[in-house]
Amino acid sequence: MTDDSPRRRFRRPLRLTLMGLVALFVILQLVPYGHAHGAPATTHRAVLEPAAARIAAGGCMDCHSNATRWPWYTNVAPASLLVVNDVKGGREHLNLSRWNRPQPLLDEVVRVIDGGDMPPVQYKLIHGDARLTAAQRRTLVAGFRALYSADPPPTRDH
């Protein structure tokens, strides 16, 4: 007599599924993308006023400068793949370590800060200091206004 209980019937597929997920996780570790954490050379560092610089250090600089902090989880796929992709995109869009290169217009920077689009949700989930208050957003916006006024970067052709 065989035990055909629902529990026994699903045990083998569940075990196979778990083994497949573990195998996928191991294979992902072999993907070369996401493990290189180098940074391009800093060519001209943007200098925000001190209050804005403190806020930017917690909420902006990991993706928008070459001074990225790489915690342990950035060496484990799939997190490594996602983080490297976010950093690459952030540096391409706005890079405070290459201020002599074209940057977005001040209005766009202000819009994403004021609108809460930056830092992105996935970053705020892990980095508590990146959850900016309204006052911190105002300070950061004021810092970027002062930066663009004192040391304007080249602008992109739109």
User: For 82-112, how does the pLDDT look when each residue is reduced to its tens digit (9 = 90+)?
Assistant: 888 899 999 999 999 999 999 999 999 999 9
Instruction: Tell me, yes or no, if the pTM score tops 0.95.
Output: no
Q: Rounded to whole angstroms, how far apart are CA atoms 140 and 134? A: 10
More confident residue, 75 or 144: 144
CA-CA-CA-CA torsion sign (102, 153, 53, 121):
negative
- Segments making up each domain of the chain, as ranges: 1-158
Cβ(152)–Cβ(60) below 8 Å: no
CB 99 within 8 A of CB 150: no
